Structures are given as structure tokens and as C-alpha cells.
Amino acid sequence: MLDLLSCAPGFRIFRLFRIWRAVRIIRRLGGPKMLRDVRSEIAAGTVYLVVFLLTVVLEVAGLLELRFEENAPGANIKTAGDALWWGYVTATTVGYGDQYPVTTGGRLVGYVMLTCGVALFATFSGFLANTFLSKRTPKPTAPTEGDLVSALDNMERLLAEQQEATDRLRAGLAELQASKSS
């Protein structure tokens, strides 16, 4: 019902329910788990951060580019799709040339997009390469009951050996003291 109200054109205030719904969906799909992963594993957290920043840079640069270019004479970036396409092609340094800024503001956004986009894509590519090329170390498995029994047996044997060595030392020390007093 709240979703329906948030879509109604006359009730703009109900659009806030879209945010509430998005938060519920993120929680259901594992948002808190992702945050725990970010805190516990720095590398995974950095990958999440790079992907997030890349998305934000693409969106913001696309919106700014569209703002500067949509009514400019001779501009070929006229829709949001054109702006996102331009941003992605620019950030990946492919540069097809089918979309390009013609205004000064659009070119300034292009400079920022090139700098940030290339850095973020390079970082992301480095993480991917590291993932594919690094050797996997097997995660330690939980010990089984047999492993625990074996470990306890070894500990009992070591304690018995230690007790025997302590007894021999005490006997030797007692002999030394007896020979010293006589």
C-alpha cells in the first residue's frame, strides 16, 4: 500500500517510503553481512568501497555531463543513457568517440571523470588480477573427535615425560645436596 502511495503523483511526501523499502530490501539481501565483511576483511571491504565509489563517480559525472550538455548546440549527449555510456567509455579509456562533451563545463567533468574513473578501474582491475593469480590457502577445518582424542593422548604423554624429568632432576638435586653436606 505504501509503495502505491509513493508512486502517486499528488503525494510527493510519500516518496520517502521508497527509501524505507530500499533499506528493507538491502537488509533482506544481506546488507548487514556485507558491512560485517567490510569490517572484518580489509581487502573485501576495499573492493566494496571501490565498486561503490566507481558507481557514484559514474552516476555523478553522468548527471553533471547531462546537465551541461543536454541543451547545448551541437551536443550529442542528450539523454541519461548517453551520459552514462559516455562516462563508462571514458572511465575505461575505451573512448569510442560516439559521445563527447562540447561545452566547457562538460569537458571539465570529463577531466574529473578520466582521472577518477581510470584510478578506480585500475584499482578494481588490480583486485581482480590478485584474486585470479593468488594462491588459495585452504581454510583450517574444525578438529574432529578423533583429532581431539589424539591431541589429548599426546598431551598426556608429554606431561608424563615432563613429570619423569622433574623427578629425575629432584633426585639428582637431592644427591648433590647429600654429597655437599657430607
pLDDT tens track for 16-41: 777 777 777 777 777 777 677 667 77
Q: Which domains does the chain have, with CATH numbers?
A: 1-7+14-40 (no CATH), 42-136 (1.10.287.70)
Cell of 51: 565498486
Spatial neighbors of 51 by CB under 8 A, at least 6 apart, are 124
Q: Which of 133, 122, 130 is nearest to 53 (CA)?
A: 122
What integer is the mean pLDDT of 154-162?
91
User: Would the pTM of this model clear 0.75, i.e. be above it?
Assistant: no
Residue 7 above 70 pLDDT?
A: no
pLDDT band for position 163 (cuts 50, 70, 90): very high
> Could you tell me what percent of the chain has a pLDDT over 70?
85
- How far is residue 14's CA from residue 1's CA, in Å, rounded to a whole number? 11
